[in-house]
Amino acid sequence: MVRFENVGLRYGLGPEILRDLSFLIPAHSFQFLTGPSGAGKTSLLKLLFLSLRPTRGLVNLFGHDVSLLGKDQIADLRKRIGIVLQDFRLLDHMTTYENVALPFRVMGRDESSYRKEVIDLLKWVGLGERMDALPPILSGGEKQRAAIARAVISRPHLLLADEPTGNVDPTLGRRLLRLFIELNRSGTAVVIATHDMALMDQYDARRLVLHQGRLHIYE
């Protein structure tokens, strides 16, 4: 599904912050991406999400060499990827329901075709009562769940989550981890970037450890 070969990344003329990354993310797989702060976890997630292009090396995503893709093709590929960012990135002028339904709206689907699906998912993540609420009045945990619901609503092939439990208490963190595990069981490949060892200890999964720009894989 995702193949990196000797990938390097630098910002501008600065030092290379990711060096010689070579790894595979198979379909239906589950992995934690970890490493100390500043190790380049977010940069690697951005490479996986096609927000950044590698300075060198090959990135192959869903069978496409990303260096050959145009902007429209990248947009199409992103529809197959869900991403959860640390700062949620919910649109404050839209209700929780509208935020979660946004991927379907962008696809041009009629609301009646996905309404039940969005409501079911919102209930499933415990936001059934909050679907008319605007993000500014949601708690941190509710925002996190809304952001996760938006990332998974279109059943992405690949889910990327950047510190998804960073803003929630341990109990909710465990619940969110279960959500990701369930998603993975339904066929979505999951990459969770975290430095929360306690979270990783709760689930036996592959670990991709970034250290000084290099990647070490623990199967």
Partner 1 sequence: MQGGSCCTRDGCTSMSRPNHQLGPLLDLARDRPQLPAQARNMSPIVPRGSIAGTALVAVVAIMTFLASITTGTVLLVGASAAEWQSEVASEITIQVRPLAGRDIDKDASAVAEAARTQSGIVDTRMFSREESARLLEPWLGSGLSLDELPVPRVIVARVQPGTAIDLEALHRRVMQTAPSASVDDHRAWIERMRSMTGATVIAGIGILALVIIATIISVSFATRGAMAANRPIVEVLHFVGAGDRYIANRFLRHFLRLGLEGGLIGGGLAMLVFGFSESIAGWFSGTPVGDQFAALLGTFSLRPSGYLALAVQAVLIAGITAWASRRTLLTTLNEID
Binding site for partner 1 (CB under 8 A): 49, 51, 71-72, 75-76, 78-79, 81, 83, 85, 89-91, 93-98, 101-107, 109, 111, 113-114, 117, 119-132, 145, 150, 153-155, 157, 175, 178-179, 182-183, 185-187
In the bound state with partner 1, the residue whose beta carbon lies nearer, of 1 and 209, is 1
Residue placing its CB nearer to partner 1 in the complex, 116 or 219: 116
By beta-carbon proximity to partner 1, the closer residue of 56 and 89 is 89
Nearest approach, Cβ of residue 180 and partner 1 (Å): 10
The residue among 142 and 196 lying less far from partner 1, judged by its C-beta, is 142
Residue 33 corresponds to which amino acid?
L
Residue 60: CB minimum distance to partner 1, A: 17
212, amino acid identity = Q
Ramachandran sector of residue 86 (left: φ over 0; alpha: ψ -120 to 50; beta: rest): alpha
Shortest separation between residue 89's beta carbon and partner 1, angstroms? 5
Q: Which is nearer to partner 1, 178 or 216 (CB)?
A: 178
State the minimum distance, in angstroms, from the CB of residue 69 to partner 1: 12
As to burial, measured by CB atoms within 10 angstroms (0-12 exposed, 13-18 middle, 19+ buried), residue 113 is exposed
| Least distance CB 14 / partner 1 (angstroms) | 20
